[in-house]
Structure 1
Amino acid sequence: MGPRGRERRAGAIPNTNDSSSLSKCSLAARGYVRDPFASLLVSGAPRRAPLIHRGYYVRARAVRHCVRSFLEHVPAEGGSPLRQILSLGAGSDSLYFRLKAAGRLAQAAVWEVDFPEVAERKAAKIRSELELAAVAGPPLSAADLGSGPSAALHFASKDYRLLGSDLRDLEALGRSLEASGLDVGAPTLLLAEAVLSYLDVGSAAALVAWAAGSFTDAVFILYEQMGPHDPFGQVMLRHFERLSSPLHGLARFPDVAAQRRRFLDAGWGACSVVDMNEFYRGFIPAQERERMEALEPFDEFEEWHLKCSHYFILAASRAGGLAQTLLLPSREAFSRVEPAPPAGVLFARVLGELDGRPLKRFGHASALLGPNVILSTGGFGEQEGRHTRVSKCHVLFKHPGSRWNASLVGAAGTQWDGRLFHTMTPFSGSRALVLGGRLSPVTPALGMYWLCWPSPEGSGADLPKGTIAEVGPEAEFPSPRWRHSAAKVFCQRQEYLFVYGGRNGKDPVLGDWHFLHMDTMTWVSLPVEGPDPDARHSHSACSWKGGALIAGGLNVSEEPLGSVHFLKSVSNGFCWEKLEVQPPITPRYSHTAHLFDGKLLLVGGVWIHSSSVPGVTVIDLATRLSFEYHIDTTSVPWPLMLHNHTSILLQEEQQLLLLGGGGNCFSFGTHFNLHPVTLDITLLRSRQ
């Protein structure tokens, strides 16, 4: 890297520190963590989104856990060497002040290293803020430390050293640490919190090897990104590239296994790694998780789990079992349920011959009305040049042949309210019934609507305008909710709409169900026998044999479910039956589902029990055997995120049409799938 490249790089990295520090301030201000010092070390106090709060919360808990465990497992005994914490790329973090105020630095000291300009800015804050200065204690001079003047030392006290040094110059770093009193023979925790990925691969490798070779009794704690190849990972990489701070090394070390090998190959004796989904469930007590989850309204589970699957915490030790001890969970996070090897590949292709407006939204609903009209409503997406809850309907109309036309239009009648996470169930007469949804994470969308969009008459006719009509108050849904499911079922030859599960502003998850009699449009009670399924939301429902198949979803603990239940139609009502599927399917949610050739297809979604990306799970309903199919997206020119999407089964074409999808990807920005995509599922019909 040339001088100008180094200069640009050094300028971009402090900017990531500023953003991170402000997020940590917002985290403390909203009660996620106790940190009275965060706001004293940076200027400004913006309020971050709940999703970013959750991401920084689990990061803070992971670092806190490792640091406290180190101090507890390396006791401060008389005559033992001083325990040391060396924070590499510390930025404006308040770790030292929190430890000191909590009385956790008995016979211990903290060293912090960052770029000289970052270190000097932090030193100035410490000198000017009375509360920080009081915690740090009287400053020491180089003479007090028994060394000569050092340009790298920006602040020193009895148990704190703040150095300005470039982590790429290890020779200068070593000299500065030695001059400031660091003892390479003492028990030392080296902390690199989102640091190595900002260094070029060679510099990061040299730093890991230098740490292994320089300290005789050390543990290295690393919090970092991973998973660059899947859609969320690609959005993450592009975000940092736009900030002129690209992430390095992820291609060489894309997962926890590669990160473990990275440290073992560099000379560390032992290494443990967990992703943040596993840390959250295995290391944070349930009571504390419940406290955190209740702090703010939240409804972005997909991006929360995906963010956690793309970050990890690592502990590597020089010798002994300290690395395993630091990352030994207090309870099992969850059992890994890895999908079976793919039985085949389904190829994704952008819908060809498409005229008109693309559908860029997520959290919407879609329905096939007649043979040639696909209607999508609601969701969050692009409308009139801005991101908003979408109030216009999106209509796909197939002309004779293969050409599709797309329109973003309003409809006559009642104004559409732009709800998210509702259901839209098609009925005869080119009609669909809309039910449930939300306007905000705490505000349900009220009212039920009939949407009608007839097909045009004749090959050259224009698409008729649709209508929206609110269902009368006598049919008002008695229990507002969103992220629920709706499916048509039959009992004694009467048609009903079966509504199951979901959540609302008061209950994080619902396990009840309701029946709407379609002839009279009244809600009725029908007998249902058998053991109830776990309460869930963000699951799928398909009509089958007069009943409904319920698959996946999130439970009350925000953990994906892998169960499949059949609401079976019996003589006097219905009966719940759990389907035993072999091999067991990987738990998932935010997927779509279809019945095709006697098989239940589960399309996309999010899971945390595996590091792979969900494709299409196929369950043969006759044999109860499951098969996994990989989705090949090489022909799709953007990251295809298959969650918060909808899909339509095109029986004659033997295709699945995937519409919309995406989400607010942590702090990396909002992602929308750009155009409809088709999956050829002919292969699934041929399997015996």
Structure 2
Amino acid sequence: MSCDTETDNKMEKDKKSKTTKSRRETAVQGTNDSSIVSKCSMAVQGYFDDPYLQAFVSKVTRRAPLIHRGYYIRAQTIDYILKKFLSDDSSKKQVISLGAGFDSAYFRLKSKSLLETTVFFEVDFPEVVKRKKALIESNSELLSMVGENCLNPAMKSPLIELSTKTYKLIGADLSLINTLEAALKLCDIDFDLPTLLLSECVLTYMTRRTASNVIRWSGESFSNSVFVLYEQINPNDAFGLFMQNHFNSVGSPLKSINYFPTIQSQKDRFTKLGWSRVEAMDMNEFYSTLLTQEEHDRIERLEPFDEHEEWNLKCAHYMVLLGYQGSCDVLLKSLVSKSDVPSGRVSELSGKIKLSFTNPKQPFKRFGHCSTQLSPNLVFSAGGFGEQAGKHMRVTDILLVDLVTMETSLFNPNVDNKKIEVSRMHSTISCLKDGRILLIGGRMSPVRLCTQMVAMEMKSKSVNSNIVLESMNCGLNKCMNCGNNLNCNENDMNISNKLPMDTNKNCDHENSCNLENSVVNLCMNCSKLNIRPADSNVIKDENHVNSNDPSEIKDAQDKLEKLEEKVDEGLNGGEGHTRGQDDVSSIQCKDIQCSILEPSGDIPTPRWRHSSVLYNNNGVETIIMYGGRSQTVFALDDCYTYIPDTNCWQKVDTNGETPGACQSHTSCIWNNNMVISGGLNIDLQPLSNIYLLNLDTFTWNKIDCDINPRFAHSAHIIDDILILIGGVSFSHNPPGVAMVHLPSGICAEFALPTMDKTQLAMLHKHTSVVIDNDKILVLGGGGNCFSFGTHLNHSPIVIDISLAMEEMRLLCSKD
């Protein structure tokens, strides 16, 4: 190969390398342009006082409330630290903003007379600072605040765009430390003055080596300094992986985050690079401990907001770290002194929970919905936010899930949402014994609460014109048609805590009516048939079988078997499908009818994020509802019962220590107790409480146990063990599965398995059902992930809890 060819190849390789590097730098610079628009929108909405941000955007564009909050907490954190550094004493100081972009901190602080003895340095890519200089020079107010250039920058270095007495604007690549240091020296930097070095979401875009060089150089060069690092952490849970995917997709990957994924690893990093003391905290802790309740209340009043899960998850994935050197350690004492207080989080056992993804033809993709189990094999879900007609929206479609095949079916109730509120979020759902499905509470938007109780009925018909097949639920003790006693388990009415029924049980009403043209009710609990005249809603006494007469029973059984054969023929439809004893999913839904109920009594305040559960109140089907939030109150503490037979609400006066105000909690039924778990309190803090409400005496009792706080989870009870699935908390690791043995209070926490970035499961705002004593099926879940996009779980997802249940039984046996 000739020398010329080698040279050409090298030049071509260098050209490609430079082009790739240039593209990466352009993408990273693009994060500045997006960020400044969001910051400006946040300030315009009143979150943060900074009128100077508007000078750096061509047009103010309103962002979503969640994005406002994300940039608010970032601005508030940095402003808190800067003001504490600047106001501590009157000595001369320096601030160096690394990767400053279009940040307006200098102008904001200058206008408040906080920079009288401080020189402010801003450093970024040369292209960025040239644009910033042009914007400053085109604005007379900004230009007057920076003052006149001390010297012609071109006489010193082409990298220095502005150099006044108090403001220096430098265009330099942070990976070129020698070049940066030379430019700072030309701007009269003093390496001995107290200096704050600020890096906001900058170093994480750099390689580990170049980022570490910046940190090491800062500590070695400035003898009295504090390094403020604000950036992403916790990259390996579902939210963190989704966050990484976003930055990868826009061409600005977080190159350093996986090397220093946790707060502790970041602190260790600074210590190893020579910083004498390091402290750090995430944004949940900053917001909770260093901002006042008055400030919290102000933020909550600014605009409607109902994305607490995403807000807390975002805050758990961003941290601020402070590394100290020399006099700054003594001068500043501690900016975030509460950061080293133990969190009190209960440790989790690993390796006991397994997740597996199903692969239905039509995945269940929505969150904030509600679900109820119609039978051992069929789940009905309504409402929520998800995919419909190719768009992300509040959904109207009803979704049925076959628990045998894991396939889903969509049905549209064909209602006008302006007239009948079906596409609601954060409501509760109950399946009544007469087959009606009730939607209670919820919201259409954070400013439009649902005031309607909506009853939905699924109408199903077979091919045989003489036999109409309708779904029903036999209830606890009585058939809705003939009134005969049933052998169904009393716990069957706990729809949210439902276990598969023993399909060998026989209801007494199977030996019923002798009529050819009949309506056949398929019992959704025990999968047995009941027969009534097609033109009658009630079977008369003379049509009943005397269950004490063996001959009549045998005769009725023969007739019932013939009628069941006709039903089977109709259901088969010539396709060779045979209806099994539990196979209610073979019923084809023909229509979903919706109606608005007009209840009487103590009508509850409209609410969402409440809980409700169905139970048997001395033979009377009853729904009990607790808590939630209203438009004006973040968490409610009231309790109501609703009786479907009378269509009447009644407020309940309870006794004992109550759970207090809570929302986003769960309710289950256990031994005639309503079990309340978790939620958010009136201050929007996650709860770990578990309370029992005795439904005979309406007296509360608290379970003494130690589990991690959570909200937006789901809950079930198996073998006296309360099982909490997922949720959100203030912790860096999202809650996994908590188990509490209710009779004894023995409890344990089990961690979720490591997430696969190709199959993410965010276990909040989901619903779930028990499919056997060792498996729970998660339906839906996810949320709007800050500015990174919307994640919808590709569900159903099977959670295998068999090993965790074995561990719990072992713990209980040792007690």
TM-score range, shorter chain: over 0.9
SS of match in other structure, 2:51:
coil
Match of 1:600 among 699, 712, 722: 722
Do structure 1's residue 264 and structure 2's residue 271 form an aligned pair? yes
One-letter amino acid of the counterpart of residue 426, structure 2: F
Contact 1:348 1:633 in 2 (8 A): no
Name 2:745's counterpart in structure 1. Answer: 624
Q: Aligned-pair distance for 1:186?
A: 1.3
After superposition, the Cα gap between the structure-2 partners of 1:679 and 1:323, relative to the gap in structure 1 and judged at 3 Å, is: farther
8 Å Cα contact 1:549-1:565 kept in structure 2? yes
| Residue-by-residue CA offset, 1:591-638 (whole Å, 9 max, x unaligned) | 000011110000000011x32221110000121011112233667941
Report the Cα distance in structure 1 between the residues aligned to 2:442 and 2:409, rounded to whole angstroms: 23
Distance in 2 (alpha carbons) for counterparts of 1:562 and 1:130: 55
TM-superposed deviation, 1:287: 0.9
> Where in structure 2 are the equivalents of 1:60-459 lying within 5 Å?
60-73=75-88, 75-77=89-91, 82-142=92-152, 148-319=155-326, 322=329, 325=332, 327-329=334-336, 336-342=343-349, 345-351=352-358, 354=360, 356-398=361-403, 402-411=404-413, 417-453=422-458, 458=568, 459=578
Max radius of gyration: which structure? 2
Distance 1:250 1:89 in 2: 17
1:409 deviation in Å? 1.3
Per-residue deviation, 1:533: 1.9
CA contact (8 A) 1:490 1:569 kept: no
Amino acid at match of 1:251: N
| Cα separation, 1, equivalents of 2:449 and 2:762 | 26
Q: Which amino acid aligns with 1:268?
A: W
| Range with bigger deviation, 360-369 or 502-511 | 502-511
Amino acid at match of 1:578: K
Per-residue CA shift, 1:203-260, capped at 9, x if unaligned? 1111111111111111100100011000000010011111100001111101110000
- In structure 2, the CA distance between the partners of 1:413 and 1:172, relative to structure 1 (3 Å rule), is closer
Structure 2 counterpart SS, 1:632: coil
| Structure 1 residues 553 and 466: CA distance shift in structure 2, 3 A | farther
| Residue 472 (1) aligns with residue 482 (2) | no
Partners in 2 of 1:343 and 1:166 — Cα distance? 43
Query: For residues 179 and 412 of structure 1, do their structure 2 counterparts lie closer, same or farther at Cα, with a shift above 3 Å needed?
Result: closer
Q: Is the CA contact 1:412–1:465 (under 8 Å) kept in the aligned structure 2? A: no
CA contact (8 A) 2:281 2:339 kept: no
Runs of at least 5 residues in structure 1 that lack an aligned partner in the other structure: none
Q: Does 1:561 align with 2:687?
A: yes
Contact 1:88/1:190, CA 8 A, preserved across alignment: yes
Cα distance change on mapping 1:591 and 1:326 into 2, 3 Å: farther
1:370–1:413 Cα change, 3 Å: farther
Picking from 15, 20, 33, the partner of 2:48 is 33
Distance apart, 1:569 and its partner CA: 2.4
Deviation at 1:320, TM superposition (A): 5.6
What secondary structure, in the 3-state scheme, does the structure 1 residue paired with 2:698 have?
strand
2:620 to 494, 498, 520: 494
Task: Summarize deviations over 1:167-222 as a string: whole Å, max 9, x none.
Answer: 11111101000001111121111000110011122111111111111111111001
Q: 1:438-483 CA deviation, whole Å, 9 max, x = no partner?
A: 0001111121122334668643645223523324313595321100
Amino acid at match of 2:742: L
Partner of 2:675: 549
2:731 is aligned with 1:586:
no
Inter-CA distance 277–525: structure 2 relative to 1 (3 Å threshold):
closer
**Deviates most, 134-143 or 100-109:** 134-143
Cα deviation digits, residues 657-676 of structure 1 (max 9, x gap): 10000000000000000120
Quickly say closer, same or farther: Cα 1:241–1:413, change in 2 above 3 A: closer
Q: Distance in 2 between matches of 1:386 and 1:211?
A: 49
Give the equivalent residue in structure 1 for 2:636: 510
Secondary structure of 1:366's aligned partner: strand
Partner of 1:16: 31
Asked if the contact 1:541/1:549 (under 8 Å) is kept, the reply is yes
TM-score, structure 1 as length reference: 0.93
Aligned to 1:533: 659
Residues 204 and 684 (structure 1), Cα distance of their counterparts in 2 relative to 1, 3 Å cut: closer
How does the TM-score come out when normalised to structure 2?
0.79
Q: Which residue of 2 aligns with 1:672?
A: 792
Give me the whole-angstrom Cα distance separating, in 2, the residues matched to 1:404 and 1:88.
52
User: C-alpha separation between the residues in 2 aligned to 1:67 and 1:452?
Assistant: 60
Is 1:659 paired with 2:779?
yes
Instruction: Give 1:416 shift.
Output: 5.6
**RMSD of the alignment, in Å?**
2.2
Stretches of structure 2 lacking an aligned partner (at least 5 in a row): 1-13, 459-469, 472-521, 523-566, 569-577, 580-585, 811-815
SS in 2 for 1:23: helix
Equivalent of 2:761, from 640, 664, 687?
640
**Cα gap change, 1:127 to 1:328, in 2 (>3 Å):** closer
Structure 1 residues 187 and 320, CA gap change in structure 2 (3 angstroms): closer
Higher helix share: 2
* Distance in 1 of aligned mates of 2:587 and 2:645: 32
Distance 1:598 1:419, change over 3 A: same
CA distance in 1, matches of 2:296, 2:599: 41
Distance in 2, matches of 1:561 and 1:335, equals 17
Confirm or deny: 8 A CA contact 2:280 2:339 kept in the other structure.
no
Preserved contact between residue 142 and residue 150 of structure 1 (Cα < 8 Å):
no
Q: Distance in 2 between matches of 1:440 and 1:413?
A: 18
Question: Aligned partners of 2:652, 2:183: CA distance in 1, in Å?
Answer: 76
Distance 1:173 1:635, change over 3 A: closer
CA–CA distance in structure 2, aligned partners of residues 413 and 170 of structure 1: 65
* Amino acid paired to 2:405: R
How many Å apart are 1:684 and its aligned residue?
A: 4.8
Task: Note if contact 1:538-1:590 (Cα within 8 Å) is conserved in structure 2.
Answer: yes
- TM-superposed CA distance for 1:328, in Å, is 4.0
